């Protein structure tokens, strides 16, 4: 037994106290690499069957319909002008949210017309909706619910509020499939091949029609 600073240390006690930091460091290192390995494994590309199971899971969760509310705090909004011909001008109100792109197309200048219900009813032409968020993580693939046509007309949209501050509206449509493609290099190249179908192992499409309701409130850009 030793006496040090008023403390009496037995050999065994001294050994335990000096070896504890080493032991703690060892276990910390082990846990760190275990967590790192688990994270890497969890984010490795999913197989085609795993992605197909995710699509089926989405259908099970939204069998009665997919209801999505766009958070105005997270959405970005801007106006883009395009000319089909020298005298044929269209303005696009573009909204992006969680990767989704929603575009309202008007046949008048949105910066000069009055933002009223009557003006929007008169000048609204059509809308497009792409990259609808799935809400379920998918690693190594792009996977989204998809609408059946490239655009929709006035029958799909209801404007609730239009004023100088912004607008609120609802889109009532439907999705017809949950589908997407693998992001591995082979599949990316394969999708660029002309006159050649995409290899079966590079895609997943699970078809089923589900009602879609999208509620949107955005500020005037």
List the one residue out of 159, 142, 147 whose CA is nearest residue 93: 159
Q: Residues with Cβ < 8 Å from 74, sequence gap 6 or more?
A: 97, 98
pLDDT of amino acid 87: 62
Could you read off the pLDDT tens digit of each residue along the chain, which spans 221 residues?
Answer: 545 454 444 444 443 444 444 555 554 444 444 444 444 445 799 999 999 999 999 999 999 999 999 999 999 999 998 876 556 678 999 999 999 999 999 999 999 899 999 999 999 999 999 999 999 999 999 999 999 999 999 999 999 999 999 999 999 999 999 999 999 999 999 999 888 899 999 999 999 999 999 999 999 99
In this structure, are residues 74 and 98 in contact, taking their beta carbons and an 8 Å threshold?
Answer: yes
pLDDT of amino acid 24: 52
pLDDT of amino acid 82: 82
**Cα gap 199→182, rounded to integer Å:** 10
């Amino acid at each position: 037994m030793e006496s040090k600073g008023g403390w009496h240390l037995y050999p065994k006690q001294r050994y335990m106290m000096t070896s504890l930091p080493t032991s703690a460091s060892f276990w910390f290192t082990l846990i760190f690499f275990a967590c790192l390995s688990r994270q890497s494994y969890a984010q490795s590309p999913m197989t085609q069957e795993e992605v197909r199971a995710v699509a089926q899971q989405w259908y099970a969760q939204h069998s009665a319909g997919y209801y999505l509310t766009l958070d105005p705090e997270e959405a970005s909004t801007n106006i883009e002008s395009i000319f089909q011909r020298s005298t044929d001008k269209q303005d696009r109100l573009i909204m992006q949210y969680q990767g989704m792109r929603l575009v309202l197309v008007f046949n008048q200048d949105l910066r000069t017309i009055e933002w009223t219900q009557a003006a929007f009813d008169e000048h609204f032409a059509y809308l497009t909706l792409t990259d609808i968020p799935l809400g379920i993580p998918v690693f190594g693939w792009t996977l989204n619910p998809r609408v059946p046509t490239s655009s929709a007309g006035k029958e799909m949209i209801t404007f609730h509020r239009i004023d100088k501050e912004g607008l609120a509206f609802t889109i009532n449509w439907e999705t017809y499939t949950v589908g997407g493609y693998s992001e591995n290099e082979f599949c990316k190249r394969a999708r660029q091949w002309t006159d050649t179908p995409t290899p079966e192992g590079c895609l997943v499409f699970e078809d089923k029609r589900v009602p879609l309701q999208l509620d949107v409130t955005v500020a005037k850009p």
